[in-house]
Structure 1
Amino acid sequence: MDMDEWWGLVDTARTAVGDRADDRELPDDPLPEALVGVLAALEPAGIIDFYVKYVEAQDSAYRYSLYMAAYLIEGSCTDDGFMDFRGGLILLGQDTFSRAVAHPDSLAELPTVTRMSREEGGWIGYESVSCLIADAYRRVQGETDSLDTAVEAALSGMARPEQLLGEEWNRDPEDEEQMRRRLPRLAALFLN
């Protein structure tokens, strides 16, 4: 499976839920179950490959600038919170994800982010994309031990970032001047 096919699976799930695909705060968020359904239609090897590509996508977004954007949008950002944020970005689809990785300030264009800035609800992050993949695998195989073993073996051969990528920032999220200079549109939304 190449990355275009991988993103195509994400887009298939997004298309299935229509205009409800961009907000993870909905009480009956339909996207997670739609993605499980799309993945459960694959062979077990395809689900394993999807999981490995998911990790690759997550790793590609492990960047200083995106971390700081997540901090502004969410009001704080732990390591786990940043993982969830990147998972949620993936669920927003390839175009939004790619723009955000290249230019995190582009997230200011998202209606969900605008609502969040006005404290009108909405959420980007999603905690359990890996659990969705495991749920799909369990539907197909009846277990997840073989998924865990296969993914662990695949990841053991990959070079994965140990530190945030890209230009190193002063990682002080309270440095408003830095935020305004580097993420001007997001700063305009979230900093008073």
Structure 2
Amino acid sequence: MDKAAFWKIIDASRRDAEDDPEEQLETLRERLSSLEPAEIVSFDRILSEYHGRADTWDLWGAAYIIGGGCSDDGFMDFRGWLISRGEKAYEAALADPESLVKVVKEHDGECQIEGYQYVASEVWEEKTGKTSDDFPSHDLPMRTGTSGTPWEESDLDERFPKLSKKFS
């Protein structure tokens, strides 16, 4: 699977769910279950890569403003939500988190989808009958933590004025 095929699956699952983030997780699960195990693993590798790329202080700050706070687990779920919105929204948010002002809809809530980053491995386990210990590992480089410049809560309004105006 290549990245274009990955984003096609993401986009199709979002359309099938009529943009409902929680429903999208279920439609994504259904779409993945129709793939061969190796394709599911490939999908998961790409998902993991995008999830890691979005581990930035700027996006965490945006998630904090949007959700009225954001724990480390919440930020993992936020990155899943961000990927679920598609390539255009994802890349725009990486370039400028303030672009999320135009992406977040009322039905998005705190913009967190719990378990999004595990959906492929869960489908793979169901399909193969194997356990998570058997799931193939990826060759992605080890992350050393959140990238970018850390922030203090008191700095967020100035750092992200558009998001602060909309969500405060």
Measure, in 2, the Cα distance between the counterparts of 1:47 and 1:77.
30
- TM-score when normalising by structure 1: 0.78
> RMSD of the TM alignment (CA)?
2.0
After superposition, residues 1-192 of structure 1 pair within 5 angstroms as 1-18=1-18, 21=19, 23-24=20-21, 29-112=22-105, 115=106, 122-145=109-132, 147-148=134-135, 150-151=136-137, 154=138, 157-166=139-148, 168-169=149-150, 171-173=151-153, 175=154, 178-191=155-168
Measure, in 2, the Cα distance between the counterparts of 1:101 and 1:37.
28
- TM-score when normalising by structure 2: 0.88
Measure, in 1, the Cα distance between the counterparts of 2:65 and 2:141.
29
Measure, in 2, the Cα distance between the counterparts of 1:42 and 1:72.
37
Measure, in 2, the Cα distance between the counterparts of 1:87 and 1:161.
17
CA contact (8 A) 1:59 1:160 kept: no
Measure, in 2, the Cα distance between the counterparts of 1:111 and 1:74.
11
Deviation of 1:111 (Å): 4.6
Q: Unmatched 5+ residue regions in structure 1?
A: none
The count of corresponding residues between Structure 1 and Structure 2 is: 168
Q: What is the SS of the residue equivalent to 1:30?
A: helix
Measure, in 1, the Cα distance between the counterparts of 2:104 and 2:43.
28
One-letter identity of the residue aligned with 1:9:
I
The higher radius of gyration belongs to 1
Cα 1:111–1:104 change in 2 (3 A) is closer
% same residue: 30
Q: What is the SS of the residue equivalent to 1:89?
A: helix
